[in-house]
Structure 1
Amino acid sequence: MPGARLSEQDRERIASGLADKLSYGEIARRLDRPTSTITREITRNGGPTGYRPQQAHQATIQRARRGTPSPPRADTPPDDLMEAELLERAIRAGMPRTAARVHHDLMLSEDGRRTAAELTHRLKVSPASVSLAVNYLLQQGFVRRERDPRRRRDIYVIDDDALYQAIMTSERQTLQTAQATMAAAETYGLDSPVGQRLAKMAAYLERVSLDIMESAERWRTLLR
């Protein structure tokens, strides 16, 4: 798991679990890690019959130094490949890594709900990191906050309407940019070269944003 590296001792315990014929899920439970983390660790380092903890640890260090992930093995479970691909695409699209991990964990949870404590425990990150991540996701409309009055804690939720809200939030921000650009155009003068250029940019941003918002509203029923 990104941000929660396995130690050499963890890898020794994985090797011991494999020798004892334990399932990946049982090994993960004993190490208090997601099963997907153990699956990726084993499949990228020789598989269940070829896993060597010391070699795996050194290979991980070398990959970190190179800054490039190892290619997936042919026998990597499809679900793990899919999850990793979704996470990496969110990061490449500009979402901060911890926010992407929080969003990813919520999206793939059974009911789309987690408390901050649950996220901290599952992702092996600090409460402060989770707080920053969920604040980003709330601002962007990717999640919403609910209050548990009995236990006085916040619950973060991703539901069927989250994608719609995220799109609308993004396009409202683009509209604000269009308005600021038009104001700058008027400051320079709409008959000046700079003013005309800015006015065209503002008109384009406004029209595209309104079209996207209209389309998002029209197809919102697909999310229900």
Structure 2
Amino acid sequence: MSASLLARVPVPVKLAAPLAVALLAAAACSSSSSSSGSSSTSNSTSPSAAAPAGSASSTVITTKTSSGGSFLTNSAGRAIYLFMADSSGKSACSGACAAAWPPVVATGQPTASGGAQSSDLSTITRSDGTKQVTYDGHPLYYFEGDTGPGTDKGQGLNGFGALWYLVAPSGSSITTAVTISGSGSAPAAPPSSGGGGGY
């Protein structure tokens, strides 16, 4: 618009165009920050970004007592197992196996409590990039069949090609039948052919 035409336009109209441009710019910025804010929120709560069972910024490994002695649990009392097919520092459980026996994972350095020893705790990197907690070189797992703290239905099961056992604070497997205080009897020591799936 030329200066002479602009001079003839009433003042309210002269201000309307710049004001409209400013309002459009502000709306675009607000929409952009709103959508990027909701995008980051949805990413942090999406199933793909959700942390696996047992993960935390600082996973605590502690102990509980059973008729077979002390064994490792997480801080909520959930039983922790080792897989006899694993080699030291390497997990042999992935895919369907890891769905039935979820790895104990951490995003930070795991810590020890109770009878667990800090010097025996470490992590390995799984093929999906998650950090799996190890104890005395054994990768650690939960059992999907456990209904919560105080259960150890995975004890002595034979699944995915090998046996699964609770872990003693010494790092060795507990191969006997155990009764967890207040939870009744656990499965008998002779291995069953169950264990959450095929071999």
TM-score with structure 2 setting the length: 0.23
What TM-score does the superposition give when structure 1 sets the normalisation length?
Answer: 0.21
More strand by share: 2
Could you say which structure has the greater relative contact order, defined with CA pairs below 8 angstroms and 6 or more residues apart? 2
